[in-house]
């Protein structure tokens, strides 16, 4: 999974805006993730050459930033917050219900390829706990085991629908925020 010359030129140009090449590493990692849906190990060598960071240092960045992924995910990626505010308000039950609904272990892809659920460190929405983030865009607030199951079913059904629009292999959802569904 190599980047082509045009993509490398784009990254070199972007990195050139920083006083040090290594400052562009996170942008490069997100760029690769947007292209493949995750960051393949092979791409770390290319990014390493561009940023002067070792593959190990890049791997440490991926480990630190929870929105970066090392493994492929389903067409929908749901991150369920497990931080203290969400935990106190039932986040563990929400996460358990999400896993039960998808019928696969956390972090795995459903058999139809439509969904991956991951636990996540704080999503910064403690006042709306428990919360989940879907496809790094859609925020689901004040979740319960019942509402998370409903949301998962909607996302999974849209993903397997022939009408499901995608961008870079990821679902563009028509699901309305929970506050609009009432």
Examine the domain organization and report whether 89 and 120 are in the same domain.
yes
- Count how many domains the chain has: 2
Place of tokens 């696969």: 104
Binding positions for [2Fe-2S] cluster: 81, 86, 122, 126
Annotate 123-145 with b (16+ C-beta within 10 A) or e (fewer): bebbebbbbbbbbeebebeebeb
Final residue in a domain of this structure, among 38, 64, 90: 64
Residues sharing a CB contact under 8 Å with residue 127, sequence separation 6 or more, in sequence order: none
25-36 vs 55-64: helix crossing angle, rounded to 10? 80
131: pLDDT strictly greater than 80: yes
Q: Could you tell me the residue range of the domain that residue 128 belongs to? A: 76-157
What's the pTM? 0.75
Residue 2: what pLDDT?
Answer: 84
Nearest C-alpha neighbor of 86 from the set 134, 137, 136, 143: 143
Query: At residue 161, does pLDDT exceed 90?
Result: no
**Exposed (0-12), middle (13-18) or buried (19+): which is 113, by Cβ within 10 Å?**
middle
In 3-state terms, the chain is what percent helix, strand and coil (to 5)? Answer: 50, 15, 40
pLDDT > 90 fraction of the chain, expressed in percent and rounded:
71
Per-residue pLDDT tens for 171-180? 444 333 334 4
User: Counting Cβ atoms within 10 Å, is residue 157 exposed (0-12), middle (13-18) or buried (19+)?
Assistant: exposed
Binding-site members are 81, 86, 122, 126
Q: Whose CA is closest to 101, among 156, 27, 176?
A: 156
Out of 15, 33, 64, pick the residue that ends a domain.
64
Please tell me the distance from the alpha carbon of residue 78 to that of residue 71, in angstroms, as a whole number.
14
CATH of the domain at 56: 1.10.10
pLDDT tens figures, 80-101: 999 999 999 999 999 999 999 9
Does the residue 172 lie in any domain?
Answer: no
pLDDT at position 107: 92
Are 81 and 128 members of one domain? yes
Q: Same domain, yes or no, for 38 and 85? A: no
| 112 and 135 share one domain | yes
Encode pLDDT of 26-38 as tens digits.
Answer: 999 999 998 888 9
52 and 110 fall within a common domain: no
Q: Is residue 117 part of a domain?
A: yes
Same domain, 34 and 90: no
Shared-domain flag, residues 40 and 89: no
Q: Tell me whether residue 49 is in a domain.
A: yes
Q: What is the mean pLDDT of residues 102-113?
A: 93
The continuous run of DSSP H or E covering 85 comes out as helix 84-88
In a domain, 174, yes or no: no
Is residue 94 located within the same domain as residue 28? Answer: no
């Amino acid at each position: 999974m190599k980047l082509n010359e045009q993509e490398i030129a784009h990254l070199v140009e972007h990195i050139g805006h920083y006083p040090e090449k290594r400052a562009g590493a996170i942008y490069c990692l997100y760029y690769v993730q947007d292209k493949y849906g995750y960051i393949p190990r092979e791409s770390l060598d290319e990014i390493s050459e561009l940023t002067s960071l070792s593959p190990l240092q890049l791997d440490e960045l991926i480990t630190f930033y929870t929105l970066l992924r090392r493994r492929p995910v389903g067409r929908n990626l749901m991150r369920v917050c497990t931080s203290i505010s969400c935990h106190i308000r039932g986040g563990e039950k929400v996460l358990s219900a999400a896993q039960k609904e998808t019928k696969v272990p956390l972090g795995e892809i459903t058999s139809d390829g439509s969904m991956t659920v991951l636990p996540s460190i704080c999503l910064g929405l403690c006042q709306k706990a428990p919360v989940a983030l879907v496809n790094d865009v859609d925020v689901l607030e004040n979740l319960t085991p019942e509402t998370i199951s409903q949301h998962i079913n909607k996302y999974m059904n849209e993903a397997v629908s022939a009408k499901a629009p995608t961008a870079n292999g990821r679902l563009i959802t028509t699901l309305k925020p929970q506050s609009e569904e009432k």
